[in-house]
Amino acid sequence: MSPELISAYRPGSTLLHRIPAGPKLGLLAAYGVVTVVATGPWTAIGFLAFSLALVVWVRIPWRTAVRALRPLLLVVVLVTAFQVWQRGWPAAIHVVGDLLALFVAALVFTATTRIDALLDAIVRGLGPFRRVGVDPEKVALAFSLMIGAIPGVMTIARETRDAAKARGLERDPRALLVPMAIRTVAHAYDTGAALHARGIGDD
């Protein structure tokens, strides 16, 4: 997941900014269902155009949107090639168009929703499940830790790659995977130790 996608909140006064996180998440899910149910290349192009119009509406800089979409480029190329080979161009446009439309819609969601509001919505949504043993606060904490960990892991990967390149070992998998695995585990251990020191998760 791109760091731009999970940390793209931009304050604003649009209707999407004012809709609470819970209903907005429900709208995003409904949008996903509609894009899957509707078939055909032209509907996919329409959904993608609608998502891009939302980007303009909430004033996400195009550079930010492109940066967020960059990690999806390889997936788009592979899926397009596979669909063209198996089912032809119309099916490829339908599948890839829907994929990009949903990804852009998710970017708009994060751009108009504060992370703390999203976590509060998760706690409220899981509230009825307390009676079956679900702890909504812990689920929200796990979600926030996952969101916070992704940029850290991306930074570790970039620093590991740069260090290997400086030693002329950028093509050696061991010079990339071993240090990255060690640093990632150490980061997770430090996070767990910090939570334990605060008495979180002792039960």
Smallest CA-to-CA distance from 153 within 2, 17, 23, 25 is with 2
Distances (CA, A) of 117 to 6, 11, 16, 77, 98: 14, 13, 13, 35, 27
* Cβ-contact 63, 40 below 8 angstroms: no
In the structure encoding, which two tokens stand for residue 72, read together? 């999806």
Q: What radius of gyration, in Å, describes the C-alpha atoms of the chain?
A: 20
Q: Domain coordinates of the chain in residue numbers? A: 3-113, 129-197
| Per-residue pLDDT tens over the stretch 138-188 | 777 776 666 556 556 667 777 777 887 787 776 777 777 777 777 777 766
Whole-angstrom Cα distance, residue 165 to residue 159? Answer: 10
Q: Rounded mean pLDDT of the chain?
A: 79
Q: Which pLDDT belongs to residue 106?
A: 87
Smallest CA-to-CA distance from 143 within 168, 117, 166 is with 117
Q: With 70 as the cut, is the pLDDT of residue 93 above it?
A: yes
Confidence at 1, pLDDT banded by 50, 70, 90: very low
User: Please, which residues have CB within 8 angstroms of residue 153's CB and are 6 or more apart in sequence?
Assistant: 184, 187
Smallest CA-to-CA distance from 43 within 94, 90, 92 is with 94
Whole-angstrom Cα distance, residue 29 to residue 133? Answer: 25
